[in-house]
């Protein structure tokens, strides 16, 4: 039986993939994995302690903040600030970027953007949720406070991105631009261990993931693609199956392994889309491209979009190459907004 490789050991082995970090990536990802372990512990207590339900406060997006949203946000901020690799954090749960003021943090080279608890409304009913994160090298001078420009970088400048799924098991998946690898948490030893090496997404799949409850509000091209999935898929690919969890990390993880497409298009109520570009679309786009897939807003490569605000939204078409390209064909045939 081969020896399990831990996340820390794997990062050290692959350090040549991240030569300009001088060991900082290992420390930074250790901070993220530590916070993930703490959040995982609390999620597993849900229903036994008073940590489910809403806080009574809306976040910057006008969405009702769950207690675990706030808890996860604080845990990840604390873990990242405790190391001296990160000078600031952009989070779904914060109105503005959080600037770390300690002197060591001011000399850090990186900023982190994150959705601390993706799909948190699923907690109350014991359905999988996740964490999404990405890492950029700052543009502002070392030793000064980070600026808006450090956080408002296009996705192709990411130096690392990943997600955690808290489900039947807890798995952390990340990339530094040299392939995608997954690590499953072993609670008996308190460590993430390599379980999915060199992950690739199949070129084709049979799963489409979309909230069909919004069907009447979708652009015509998306409606026609859904009809295609339901009725007109070539025989060799039938049957297509609709699978939608309501947590981007969870839906994407399933499709990454099995092949599929995730769609969150614009709607009448959200003409710019609903998902956040910087800490939801960009990290997943980086990962899926490294795994051999595609991510667009229906027209433009996600990683090429230049952001102008922290909580900017974007439509998202993400997954297996052939499936996303077919969806694009329908969008081009029906170019209404």
CB 12 within 8 A of CB 196: no
Task: Decide if 248 contacts 300 (C-beta within 8 A).
Answer: no
The verdict on whether residue 280 carries a ligand-binding annotation is yes
Query: Would the annotation count 120 as a binding residue?
Result: yes
Q: Are 159 and 283 in contact (CB under 8 A)?
A: no
64 annotated among ligand-binding-site residues = no
Backbone angles phi, psi at 181, to 5 degrees: -135, 145
92 is annotated as contributing to ligand binding: yes
Q: Is 117 annotated as a binding residue?
A: yes
At CA 27, angle to CA 25 and CA 30, rounded to 5?
105
Residues 41, 328: Cα–Cα separation, whole Å: 41
The annotation status of 211 as a binding-site residue, yes or no, is yes
Q: Which 3 state secondary structure label does DSSP give 333?
A: helix
Q: What is the DSSP string of 116-179?
A: EEETGGGGGGT--EEEEEEEEE--SPTTS---HHHHS--GGG-SEEEEEEESSSEEEEEESSS-
- Residue 174 assigned to a binding site: no
* Residue 331 in marked binding region: no
Long-range CB contacts for residues 270-274, cutoff 8 Å, separation at least 24: 270/313, 271/337, 272/312, 272/313, 272/314, 272/315, 273/297, 273/313, 273/314, 273/315, 273/316, 274/313
* Residue 28 marked ligand-binding: no
Neighbours of 233 (CB within 10 A): 15
Say if residue 264 carries a ligand binding annotation: yes
Q: What is the rounded CA–CA span in Å between residue 9 and residue 193?
A: 9
Is 143:66 a contact under the CB 8 Å cutoff? no
| Residue 30, annotated as binding a ligand | no
Is 168 one of the annotated binding-site residues? Answer: no
181 is in an annotated binding site: no
Instruction: Tell me: is residue 263 an annotated ligand-binding position.
Output: yes
Binding residues for Mg(2+): 92, 115, 117-118, 280
Binding-site residues for substrate sit at 118-121, 211, 244, 262-264, 274
Residues placed in the known binding site:
92, 115, 117-121, 211, 244, 262-264, 274, 280
């Amino acid at each position: 039986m081969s020896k399990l490789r831990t996340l820390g050991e794997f990062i050290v082995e692959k350090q040549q993939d991240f030569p300009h970090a001088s060991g900082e990536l290992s420390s930074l990802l250790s901070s993220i994995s530590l916070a993930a372990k703490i959040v995982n512990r609390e999620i597993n207590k849900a229903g036994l302690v008073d940590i489910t339900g809403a806080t009574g406060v809306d976040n910057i997006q006008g969405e009702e903040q769950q207690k675990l949203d706030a808890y996860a946000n604080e845990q990840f901020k604390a873990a990242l600030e405790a190391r001296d690799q990160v000078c600031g954090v952009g989070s779904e749960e914060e109105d503005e970027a959080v600037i770390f003021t300690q002197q060591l943090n001011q000399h850090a080279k990186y900023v982190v953007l994150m959705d601390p608890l993706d799909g948190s409304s699923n907690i109350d009913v014991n359905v999988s949720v996740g964490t999404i994160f990405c890492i950029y090298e700052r543009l502002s001078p070392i030793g000064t406070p980070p600026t808006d420009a450090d956080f408002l970088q296009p996705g192709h400048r990411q130096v690392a991105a990943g997600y955690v799924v808290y489900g039947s098991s807890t798995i952390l998946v990340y990339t530094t631009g040299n392939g995608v690898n997954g690590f499953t948490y072993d609670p008996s030893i308190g460590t993430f261990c390599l379980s999915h090496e060199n992950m690739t997404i199949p070129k084709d799949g049979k799963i489409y993931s979309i909230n069909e409850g919004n069907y009447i509000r979708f652009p015509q091209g998306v409606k026609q693609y859904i009809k295609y999935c339901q009725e007109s898929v070539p025989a060799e690919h039938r049957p297509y199956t609709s699978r939608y969890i309501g947590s981007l990390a969870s839906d994407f993880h399933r499709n990454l392994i099995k092949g599929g497409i995730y769609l969150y298009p614009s709607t009448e109520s959200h003409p710019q889309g609903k998902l956040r570009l910087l800490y939801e679309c960009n990290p997943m786009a980086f990962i899926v491209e490294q795994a051999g897939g595609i991510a667009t807003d229906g027209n433009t490569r996600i990683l090429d979009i230049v952001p102008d605000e922290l909580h900017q939204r974007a439509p998202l078409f993400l997954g297996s190459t052939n499936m996303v390209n077919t969806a694009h064909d329908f969008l081009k045939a029906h170019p209404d907004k």
